[in-house]
Amino acid sequence: MSDTEAISAITGNSRSNTAQQSRVSFGDDFDDFLTLLTTQLQNQDPLEPTDTTEFTNQLVLFAGVEQDISQNDNLEQLIGLEAANQAVGALGYIGKEVEAEGNIFVLEEGDTGVELNYSLADTATNAAITVFDAAGNVAFVGQVDKEFGPHTFVWDALGANGTPVEPGAYTFQVNAVNADDQPIPVTLSTKNTVDGVESDDTGTFLTSGILSIPLDKVFATTVPPVQTADAGA
Structural domain contains residue 124: yes
Instruction: Give residue 16's pLDDT.
Output: 46
If asked whether residues 107 and 124 sit together in one domain, one would say: yes
If asked whether residues 111 and 207 sit together in one domain, one would say: yes
Tell me: the pLDDT tens digits for 105-155? 999 888 888 999 999 999 999 999 999 999 999 999 999 999 999 999 999
User: 18-42 and 53-90 helices cross at what angle (nearest 10)?
Assistant: 170
If asked whether residues 101 and 207 sit together in one domain, one would say: yes
Structural domain contains residue 185: yes
Instruction: Give residue 201's pLDDT.
Output: 77
- Helix/strand/coil (H, E, C) string of 112-175? CCEEEEEEECCCCCEEEEEEEECCCCEEEEEECCCCCEEEEEEECCECCCCCECCCEEEEEEEE
Instruction: Give residue 13's pLDDT.
Output: 45
If asked whether residues 121 and 209 sit together in one domain, one would say: yes
Instruction: Give residue 92's pLDDT.
Output: 87
If asked whether residues 88 and 175 sit together in one domain, one would say: no
pTM for the structure as a whole: 0.60
Could you give the C-alpha distances from 221 to 45, 138, 224, 225, in angstroms and in order? 77, 30, 10, 13
Instruction: Give residue 1's pLDDT.
Output: 46
Domain end, chosen from 44, 68, 93, is at 93
Structural domain contains residue 228: no
Instruction: Give residue 39's pLDDT.
Output: 72
Instruction: Give residue 210's pLDDT.
Output: 87
CA 86 from centre of chain:
12
User: 53-90 and 3-14 helices cross at what angle (nearest 10)?
Assistant: 150
Print the domain residue range for 37. 3-93
Which regions in the chain score pLDDT beneath 50?
Answer: 1-16, 231-233
Structural domain contains residue 156: yes
**How many other C-beta atoms can be found within 10 angstroms of the C-beta atom of residue 70?**
13
Instruction: Give residue 152's pLDDT.
Output: 96
Instruction: Give residue 221's pLDDT.
Output: 87
If asked whether residues 103 and 217 sit together in one domain, one would say: yes
Instruction: Give residue 139's pLDDT.
Output: 95
Domain end, chosen from 93, 119, 139, is at 93
Domain end, chosen from 75, 93, 111, is at 93
Query: Is the sign of the CA dihedral 175, 180, 182, 183 positive or negative?
Result: negative
Structural domain contains residue 231: no
Structural domain contains residue 200: yes
Instruction: Give residue 30's pLDDT.
Output: 60
Structural domain contains residue 233: no
Number of domains the chain contains: 2
Instruction: Give residue 22's pLDDT.
Output: 57
Q: Are 160 and 68 in contact (CB under 8 A)?
A: no
